[in-house]
Amino acid sequence: MSEIEGTVSSHLTRSVLEAAVQIGVPDREIAAIAGLGRELLGDDFLRIPSTALLRLWELICAAGGVGVGVRVAELAPPGRLHIWDYLILGASNLAEGFTDAARFAAVMADPAATLVVTADDHQLIAEFRGRPYGATVAAVVNEFSLTVLLHRARAIAGHAADPIRVDFTHPAPPDPGYLIETFGTGNIHFDQDRTALVLPIAERTRDGRPYDPELRQILLHYAKLIIDTARPAPTWEDTLRAEISAALIERQSAEIEVVAQRLAVSPRTLQRRLADHGTSWRRELEAVRCQQATRLLRDTRLPVQSIAGRVGYRDQRALRRAFHRWTGQTPDAYRRCARN
């Protein structure tokens, strides 16, 4: 799972993002989150940086107040979290569904966050172990996570799945009434050594969709496929360099105004984001020019003069000076070495 460590699913991110908008987090604050490109959130196989989701949770905490974790969960009904939800909903009973969801928790969450499920003849314990967050965010994420699990349990077994006990690692809120109402029990404990639901062993409700063992195998196979083939979403720097590269290819020049327009931001905003990422327009432009020039020298027989034009230089002398600065070689020497 090394490829997806430090990332979360696009479905989880999109669900939390849409909740943030409904709760009232300003669009400008969402837009400022590095790594949270809305255009990336429709791809099942792209993973969003966990740091982006954490920042989103911080904004939700600031805007939403007490009980906001439960509110976010209620805006993600069963089915909203894609394949992970259907691993639970497609199981023969609650224990099987939660066990499958625990086995493939990484299909939704950062592998650093786990779901541990244990069951006997009488009860099932679903323990959520999250990433180490600050106290405020941890409390909200804990409440969100257990509420999500509760809604999935009730989707399978109705109120027969109402919790026997609820444990949270965070301190009790001033008024826990919203949690008592949500979980349907007053047996809620805080400052515990785990965040967990203790549920009765419950079967599927008879009025629900009939159990299909073949469908369950398909879901398990697809969940494994997603984990095995998932890839991190492009970073902001990746996207920026791709747009610079596209501008060079299309126009044989790249001005900051042109690239800013392609990124749907103002040149001033682009300059500010460059500074926030510890880089500059000149540095990023030079990096793309170097990448393109080395590729063209290695993979084509274009003369150096033509390559200079393609990467935005007026003549080959300018390219030769820049290329020596980048690599310590002349373009001709690099081409000879690359082909030997």
Per-residue pLDDT, 99:
96
Which amino acid, one-letter code, is at 272? R
Least confident of 41-50, 62-71, 141-150, 152-161: 41-50
Helices (H), 104-212: 135-157, 177-183
Instruction: Give the pTM.
Output: 0.75
pLDDT at 224 over 90: yes
Per-residue pLDDT, 276:
84
Model confidence over 96-138: pLDDT tens digits?
999 999 999 999 999 999 999 999 989 999 999 987 788 889 9
Is residue 170 classed as helix, strand or coil in its secondary structure? coil
Residue 171 to residue 136: CA distance in whole angstroms: 10
Average pLDDT, the chain: 90
Per-residue pLDDT, 236:
77
Is residue 8 classed as helix, strand or coil in its secondary structure? strand
Per-residue pLDDT, 187:
98
Per-residue pLDDT, 233:
72
Residue 157 to residue 25: CA distance in whole angstroms: 35
Per-residue pLDDT, 273:
86
Q: In this prediction, what percent of the chain has a pLDDT beyond 70?
A: 97
CATH of range 236-339; options 1.50.10.100, 3.30.565.10, 1.10.10.60, 1.10.40.50? 1.10.10.60
Model confidence over 258-314: pLDDT tens digits?
888 888 788 999 998 899 888 999 999 999 999 999 999 999 989 999 999 999 998
The mean per-residue pLDDT over the stretch 47-61 comes to 92
Where exactly are the structural domains of the chain?
Answer: 2-231, 236-339
Per-residue pLDDT, 31:
80
Per-residue pLDDT, 132:
78
Per-residue pLDDT, 207:
65
Residue 114 and residue 103 in contact, taking contact as beta carbons nearer than 8 Å = no
Residue 108 and residue 81 in contact, taking contact as beta carbons nearer than 8 Å = yes
